[in-house]
Amino acid sequence: MKSAGLDIKYVAHLARIELTPEEESLLGLQLADILAYVEKLKEAEIRGVEPTAHPFPMVNVTRPDEVARSLTSEEALANAPAQANGLFRVPKIVE
Amino acid sequence: MLNRLTISQLTAKLATGEASSAEATRACLDRIAQVDSRIRAFLSIDESNACREAVHADELLRAGQTHADFPLLGVPLTVKDVIAVAGQSLTCGSKMLENYRSPYDATVIEKLRDAGAVILGRANMDEFAMGSSTENSAFGPSFNPWDVSRTPGGSSGGSAAAVAADCCAAALGSDTGGSIRQPASFVGCVGFKPSYGRVSRRGLVAFASSLDQIGPLTKDVRDAALLMNAICGWDPRDSTSIQMPIPDFGAALSGDVKGVRLGIPKEYAIGGLDPEVDAAVKRALKHLEQLGAHIIEISLPHTEFAIAAYYIIANAEASANLARFDGMRYGLRIDGSDPAEMYCKTRGAGFGAEVKRRIILGTYVLSSGYYDAYYLRAQKVRTLIRQDFLKAFEEVDAIVTPTSPGPAFKIGEKTSDPLQMYLSDIFTISCNLAGICGVSVPCGFTADPKLPIGLQLLGKSLGEETLLRVAHAYEQTTLWHRERPNL
């Protein structure tokens, strides 16, 4: 479904989310509504305005590169859906 | 009735030995057993752990430790299920994380433990904190203790309901666009959103990283100050936390608001404002004026763009943050023939409708060809909104608004129309875009049905003390915060 420029099938694929046909049509309509509402932003005068990515301006936050305790591999793997030999098991990527 | 006490009332009794933490914790657990089937505030309760922590607190108290060194020693608290507690679940209200257990404590949890707190259980919430009613929880909604046919607000609705129903002394929530303040107003408790960067986000599951902030939901303003003392502070493990001294927030509660300048934004006089909410806020302003505050009309000219800018920025950040839920390393996995199919199936099955809607919108506004038109434009509008507040705070010390345009709405009332749900956040979201602080305090009730109304105070970045002082002075000369629901 195409609405206000948003091709729901295409964008859902970009987001790696599988949708049922019912979800596609409902989300498509709702997102069209929301996008129509945010058109409002076009009325704002933004010439010469710098964007704000972050409300408290800070740049280049660094810390000393020191070894500290982090998760053990057992802890890191404890929530893994599948694991073997101390590694995450995932589907084959390269044929 | 130890579960009914505020933190300061409870610690006074614990200090004299008049009550024990084990008794207080038991009272909370009994209360949960009695009412939670009706309000569904909790996703999980770790009873044996809570009792063990309470017994340990009692041992420390008997050994002579005091609340001067451990300000929350023996105090039972509830934690929103989006903040990591080692060994406990961290569902974020999502099927995606139904079986996840945190391998570590969030920084705020380390701080609560250092202060001696007892952690009772985990509060329900909208999935990944996306929502204004808890109806987006994959495990079913929470219900408002004042009227169980209504929502307690969201996304920290479980935390708010638990506090209002006296299931705990206080709770932690998180606020990305009003998710602490709006539920506080719906259930009649105090909800405080600290300035961006005051509280470490390490261990808070990220929704929108430039907007999220952890904060307290409490029975009175003094308790909010106490919890702020415990959780604020620079954390080298969160590069967005601010390296600034933390004042003693309790010392700000002088009761004196003489000469404090309070701003009323003329753009907040919107259509759709509930007349009883409007009247309650006007009465509160009169009251603050009688206490010696000056009321000044101000302008926040870009208010009308706030919701649109917010839903672009928050969802853009969410689409990036939630990319981590891919079925690879933790959480739900639905197998597929290749990784791409696995991602799509896992995310299609694991996320609820609102989360999908937001990730897809966020993906769209960041996608090639649309970035400038939506995301960059929204970031520029964010600058304008921030500048509105900077300018306003040259004239006033705090800004006063309703927390929400109406009292708690009915379960199901707004679920079919997401845009209508978003529009109800009008008074709370600018605060997150600007990175400033805000608090909701009870300021009255609607007549029939009797539902709480919240007064919101907004303060400049790192201006928490002024907000606490005004909120406390108002609270100490009114009785709204003493009212309890008949559950």
Read out DSSP for B2-65? GGGS-HHHHHHHHHHTSS-HHHHHHHHHHHHHHHHHHH--EEEE-HHHHHHHHHHHHHHHHTT-
Neighbouring CB atoms inside 10 A of A64's CB total 5
With CB atoms and an 8 Å threshold, state whether A11 touches B360.
yes
Has B179 been annotated as catalytic?
A: yes
| Residue whose C-alpha is closest to residue B80's, from B146, B176, B5, B211 | B176
**Distance (Å, rounded) from C-alpha B19 to C-alpha B26?**
12
Has B80 been annotated as catalytic?
A: yes
Query: Tokens in use for B99?
Result: 């079986």
E strand residue ranges, B129-223:
170-175, 190-193, 213-218
Has B155 been annotated as catalytic?
A: yes
**Distance (Å, rounded) from C-alpha B95 to C-alpha B245?**
40
Phi and psi at residue B36, to the nearest 5°:
-70, -20
Q: Find the helix packing angle between B464-476 and B221-231, rounded to 10°.
A: 160
pLDDT of residue A1: 35
B384: which chain A residues are within 8 Å (Cβ-Cβ)? 44, 46, 49
Domains in chain B with CATH codes: 2-261+396-482 (3.90.1300.10)
Write down the ipTM of this complex. 0.94
Summarize chain A as % helix, strand, coil (round to 5). Answer: 35, 10, 55
Q: Give B332 to chain A, closest Cα distance, Å.
A: 7
AA letter at B151: T
Q: Does the A2-40 domain belong in CATH 1.10.20?
A: yes
Q: Is the pLDDT of residue A2 over 60?
A: no
**Distance (Å, rounded) from C-alpha B264 to C-alpha B267?**
9
Instruction: Output DSSP code: residue B326.
Output: S
Residue B95 contacts A, CB cutoff 8 Å = no
Q: Find the helix packing angle between A21-38 and B306-321, rounded to 10°.
A: 140
A28: which chain B residues are within 8 Å (Cβ-Cβ)? none
A63: which chain B residues are within 8 Å (Cβ-Cβ)? 236, 239
**Distance (Å, rounded) from C-alpha B13 to C-alpha B75?**
11
First and final C-alpha spacing in chain A:
34
**Distance (Å, rounded) from C-alpha B171 to C-alpha B156?**
10
Average pLDDT value over all residues in chain A: 90
B331: which chain A residues are within 8 Å (Cβ-Cβ)? 79, 81
Positive/negative CA dihedral, B218, B220, B225, B229: negative
Q: Which residue of A has its CA nearest to B380?
A: A51
Phi/psi region, residue B255 (left: phi>0; alpha: psi -120 to 50; beta: rest), is left
A53-57, A68-72, B318-322: the lowest-pLDDT one: A53-57
Is residue A76 helix, strand or coil? helix
pLDDT of residue A22: 96
Residues in chain B: 487
Q: Give A34 to chain B, closest Cα distance, Å.
A: 6
| Residue whose C-alpha is closest to residue B470's, from B342, B329, B346, B294 | B294
Q: Determine the residue among B96, B105, B361, B376 to mutate to test chain A binding: the one whose Cβ has the most chain A Cβ atoms within 10 Å.
A: B361
| Cis-peptide, bond into residue B155, ω within 30° of zero | yes
- Least CB-CB distance to A55: which of B196, B326, B331? B196
* Residue that is written with structure tokens 């959103």 in the block: B193
Higher pLDDT, A58 or B146: B146
pLDDT of residue B417: 87
Q: Which residue of A has its CA nearest to B421?
A: A34
Neighbouring CB atoms inside 10 A of B221's CB total 27
pLDDT of residue B309: 98
Residues 256-315 of B with CB under 8 A from A: 302, 304-305, 307-309, 311-312
Q: Are B83 and B106 spatial neighbours (Cβ–Cβ below 8 Å)?
A: yes
| Residue whose C-alpha is closest to residue B470's, from B293, B250, B266 | B293
Q: Give A30 to chain B, closest Cα distance, Å.
A: 7
**Distance (Å, rounded) from C-alpha B484 to C-alpha B164?**
7
Q: How confident is the model at residue A94 (pLDDT cuts 50, 70, 90)?
A: confident
Q: Give B150 to chain A, closest Cα distance, Å.
A: 24
Residue A17 contacts B, CB cutoff 8 Å = yes
B210: which chain A residues are within 8 Å (Cβ-Cβ)? 53-55
Residue A47 contacts B, CB cutoff 8 Å = no
Residue A19 contacts B, CB cutoff 8 Å = yes
pLDDT of residue B270: 82
Q: What is the pLDDT along chain B (487 residues), one digit of tens a residue?
A: 999 999 999 999 999 999 999 999 999 999 999 999 999 999 999 999 999 999 999 999 999 999 999 999 999 999 999 999 999 999 999 999 999 999 999 999 999 999 999 999 999 999 999 999 999 999 999 999 999 999 999 999 999 999 999 999 999 999 999 999 999 999 999 999 999 999 999 999 999 999 999 999 999 999 999 999 999 999 999 999 999 999 999 999 999 999 999 999 999 988 889 999 999 999 999 999 999 999 999 999 999 999 999 999 999 999 999 999 999 999 999 999 899 999 999 999 999 999 999 999 999 999 999 999 999 999 999 999 999 999 999 999 999 999 999 999 999 999 888 888 888 899 999 999 999 999 999 999 999 999 999 999 999 999 999 999 999 999 999 999 999 999 9
Q: How confident is the model at residue A59 (pLDDT cuts 50, 70, 90)?
A: confident
